[in-house]
Amino acid sequence: MHLCIRHLRRRRNPFAQQLRHCSLEGPDRRWRFSGARLRFVQRHHAVISPISTALGHAGYIIGLLEYVVTEIWWLRVWAVLGCGLVVSFQVLQPRCQWLSAGWCSVYVLVNLFQLHWFSLSLMEPTLSDEEQKLFDLLGDIVSVREFADLAGFGEWISLAPGDLLSKQGNEVTPDDAQARLYLIAEGCCEVSIAGRTVATLHPGSLVGEVSYLLQQNMEHSSSATVTAREEVHCLAIPLHEVRQLLQRRSDLQQPFVRLLARDLLTKEAAVSDQALEDRRYKAVLEVACPMARQPGVADGVATYRRREPGEARTASLQMTTSG
C-alpha cells in the first residue's frame, strides 16, 4: 500500500492526483466543490451517516432486482435508481470514492438516455394528411407505427383515368425495381383479365399483392390488367423494399400478412357477390326476354338493363337474347 501511495505521489498526472485525493489522503482543498461537500458532510455527520448507509443498502438491493427482471424497460429503471443511490451514498461519505461515484453516474446517464430514446420510440408517429386518409381506410389491421414504417418506403403517385398500374402477362422478376405494391387512397381502378372486367378496386384496396406472394424467388407474370377508372391517388412501395423491410423487421410480418389476408378476403367476397348478381341478372332476363313482345315488358327489360349496367351483364343479356 505504501509503495502504491509513493508511486502515485511521484506521478504528477491529474488522474493520479485525483485518485490519491479520493481514496487515500482525503479531500484536496483546492477543489471548491469537494471542500464544500466535505464541510457539509462533517457538519451534519450525525444525521447524514445513517441516511447515507440506508441509501447505500437501498442502491445495492435495487441492484439485485436487476437480476430478476427480464424487461429491458424495468432493467434500465432499476439501473438508474440503483446506481443513483450508490452515487448519493458515495457523495455523502467523508471520504468519497470518486471512481465508483463517477462510473455509477455514467451508468445513470447512459440508462437515462436509453429510457428517453425508448419512450420516443413508443410515441405514435405523426402521419401526413394523405397517409392518415389511407391509414383510416385500413382500419385496425395495422397500428399507426407499423403503417408509418411501411409507408416510409413508398412514394405517393397520382394517376389519370386510363393510366395503367399493371398489365396482364408482364413479367415480374424478384429484383424488378419497377414492380410495386399499390395501396389505393383515392379513386377506383378496374381489373380486367383477358379483356373482360372482373372487378373494381376501391380506396383501401391493394394492387400487386399477387406478384408479392408469388414472386418470392421466381419469375412470374402479372395476373391482371389494372387501370385507373378515374383520378387515382395511391401509395406505391417497391416490392423488393417490402421484402427487405419484412426480413429486417420481423415485428412487421404479422401486420403485413393481416393486410394481405384482409385484402384477398375482400376481393374474394366481391367476386362471389358479382357471380351471384350475374346469375340473378341472367335468370331475370331468361324469364323476361321471351315475353319481350308483351306490352310493357320490353320497357321493363330496358329499364332493368340500364339499372344494372356492366360488361358481364351485357354479355349475358346478349347470350340470353340470342339463345
Ligand X SMILES: Nc1ncnc2c1ncn2[C@@H]1O[C@@H]2COP(=O)(O)O[C@H]2[C@H]1O
Residues found near ligand X in the complex (CB under 6 A) = 166, 191, 198-199, 206-211, 222-224, 226, 267, 271
Q: 260-265, long-range: CB within 8 Å, 24+ apart, which pairs?
A: 260/206, 260/209, 260/212, 260/213, 262/141, 263/205, 263/206, 263/209, 264/209
Q: How far apart are CA 214 and CA 220, in angstroms?
A: 7
Q: Dmax of the chain from CA atoms?
A: 125
Q: How far apart are CA 142 and CA 316, in angstroms?
A: 41
Q: Minimum CB separation from ligand X for residue 197, in Å?
A: 10
55 or 226: CB nearest ligand X: 226
206 or 285: CB nearest ligand X: 206
Q: Quickly count: other Cβ atoms within 10 Å of residue 67's Cβ.
A: 8
Q: How far apart are CA 8 and CA 176, in angstroms?
A: 67
145 or 240: CB nearest ligand X: 240
81 or 134: CB nearest ligand X: 134
171 or 299: CB nearest ligand X: 171
Q: Minimum CB separation from ligand X for residue 84, in Å?
A: 56
Q: Minimum CB separation from ligand X for residue 85, in Å?
A: 59
20 or 313: CB nearest ligand X: 313
Residue nearest to ligand X (CB): 211
131 or 209: CB nearest ligand X: 209
Q: How far apart are the first and last CA of the chain?
A: 113
Q: Minimum CB separation from ligand X for residue 212, in Å?
A: 7
Q: How far apart are CA 55 and CA 82, in angstroms?
A: 9
Q: Which amino acid is located at 130 in the chain? A: E
Positive/negative CA dihedral, 140, 265, 229, 241: positive
142 or 179: CB nearest ligand X: 179
Q: Minimum CB separation from ligand X for residue 198, in Å?
A: 5
Q: Minimum CB separation from ligand X for residue 73, in Å?
A: 41
Q: Which amino acid is located at 12 in the chain? A: R
Q: Minimum CB separation from ligand X for residue 205, in Å?
A: 7
Q: Which residues contact 20 (CB under 8 A, 6 or more apart)?
A: 5, 8, 9
- How far apart, in Å, are the Cα atoms of 318 and each of 134, 311, 313, 314, 322? 40, 11, 8, 6, 6
Q: Minimum CB separation from ligand X for residue 154, in Å?
A: 16
Helices marked H in the chain: 2-10, 14-19, 32-43, 45-65, 72-91, 98-122, 129-138, 144-151, 209-214, 239-248, 253-288, 297-307, 311-322
215 or 316: CB nearest ligand X: 215
Q: Minimum CB separation from ligand X for residue 67, in Å?
A: 52
For 235, phi then psi, to 5°, come to: -95, 125
